[in-house]
Amino acid sequence: MRHDHLITSKQLSRADIEAILDHAAEIDADPSAVADRHADKLLGLLFFEPSTRTKMSFETAMKRLGGDVVDMGSVESSSVKKGETLADTVRVIEGYTDALVLRHPKQGAAAMASEFVDVPLLNAGDGAGHHPTQTMLDLYTIRENAGLDDLTIGIMGDLKYGRTVHSLAYALSNFDARQHFVSPESLQLPREVVYDLHQQEGAQVREHESIDDVLPSLDVLYVTRIQRERFPDENEYQKVAGEYQIDMDTLDAASDDLTVMHPLPRVDEIAPDVDETDHAAYFEQAHNGVPVRMALLDRLLSEGGDGDE
């Protein structure tokens, strides 16, 4: 990977991913070892969309590395409201900071912004495009619960607009993972993602409309929210919504070892009765955001700017 920016999980090799996950595990085991590692560093948080977990976990991660953050604040209170371009915003804030975290509603925003700055830039979500740091914590959670090789994973919900899904699918194609994508026809994977996965040698990908087709074979079920607002007709949403919800009855057909994940926030895709079972890994998944982002920041801030392989 380029060490100075993280735009998409496509730029990560298996070796990159394993190195980051190993480093996150070391930090997880002994956070004090890195407590002052970046005491003189500032991270710029540029969130053009609402965020709770991603933003707060980056802030926590940076502070646990001894550094600090500066936050653009809401779009309404920033110069963006005056019509400033993203290109100008990142060029200004890079002058204040050692690295930038960007979330933006437009696809390709991080790729474009990275062309205007010299400090490391991390993509924290660009519209329906990519969310590579989420993917790293997803992979960390999968590795902890089920391992990353000889893995059968179901990815269910809004696959069309779900950026976490796209990034995860790309990253998993580095491993011996059988990926089953489950969604209503209207929310299937974008053809760009399918194209990429088919280009990837060894990627094992199948698409389904019903979870029943694959549930018993799964080691991991990754659930995302079916986004009601994406449907032009409420009746169309109601027809499919119930088909993509998980509760204890649904899980009767699953392996006892099934790990259920969700990038959160959830609405009603996973019933509360699943929370207390050994299947539920979604809160652990969210907690893993801190050590994983500490590992990513440590890597980028230690090596950032040199652009070497």
Partner 1 sequence: MSDDHDHHDGTDDHELRVSKIRNGTVIDHVRGGQALNVLAILGIDGSEGEEVSVGMNVPSDRLARKDIVKVEGRELSQDEVDVLSLIAPDATINIVRDYEVIEKHRVERPDVVTGVLSCPNPSCITTAGEPVTSRFEVLDDAVRCSYCETIVREEIASLIDT
Which residues make up the interface to partner 1 (CB under 8 A)? Answer: 85-87, 104-109, 111-112, 115, 126-129, 191-192, 195
Q: Which is nearer to partner 1, 127 or 147 (CB)?
A: 127
Q: Which is nearer to partner 1, 151 or 189 (CB)?
A: 189
Q: Which is nearer to partner 1, 43 or 112 (CB)?
A: 112
Contact in structure between 81 and 160 (CB atoms under 8 Å): no
Dihedral sign for Cα atoms in the order 192, 194, 195, 199: positive
- Please report how close the Cβ of residue 165 comes to partner 1 at its closest, in angstroms: 14
Identify the active-site residue in 8, 54, 89, 224: 54
Structure tokens at 170: 């790309």
DSSP letters for 142-192: HHHHT-SSSEEEEEES-TTT-HHHHHHHHHHTTSSEEEEEE--GGGPPPHH
Partner residues linked to 261 by β-bridges: 222
Q: How far is CA 135 from the centre of its chain?
A: 4
The span from the CA of 75 to the CA of 149, in Å, is 42
The span from the CA of 135 to the CA of 88, in Å, is 28
Dihedral sign for Cα atoms in the order 14, 279, 30, 292: positive
The yes-or-no answer on residue 131 being catalytic is: yes
Any idea which residue has 């094992």 for tokens? 204
Identify the active-site residue in 53, 63, 266, 287: 53
- Please report how close the Cβ of residue 143 comes to partner 1 at its closest, in angstroms: 27
The span from the CA of 159 to the CA of 207, in Å, is 10
Q: Which is nearer to partner 1, 18 or 207 (CB)?
A: 207
- Please report how close the Cβ of residue 190 comes to partner 1 at its closest, in angstroms: 8
The yes-or-no answer on residue 103 being catalytic is: yes
Identify the active-site residue in 5, 55, 130, 131: 131
- Please report how close the Cβ of residue 57 comes to partner 1 at its closest, in angstroms: 24
Q: Which is nearer to partner 1, 189 or 301 (CB)?
A: 189
- Please report how close the Cβ of residue 113 comes to partner 1 at its closest, in angstroms: 8
DSSP letters for 224-244: ----GGG-SSHHHHHHHHGGG
- Please report how close the Cβ of residue 83 comes to partner 1 at its closest, in angstroms: 9
Give the angle 170-157-132 at the CA atoms, nearest 5°. 30
Identify the active-site residue in 5, 41, 64, 103: 103
Q: Which is nearer to partner 1, 85 or 210 (CB)?
A: 85
Q: Which residues are catalytic?
A: 53-54, 82, 103, 131
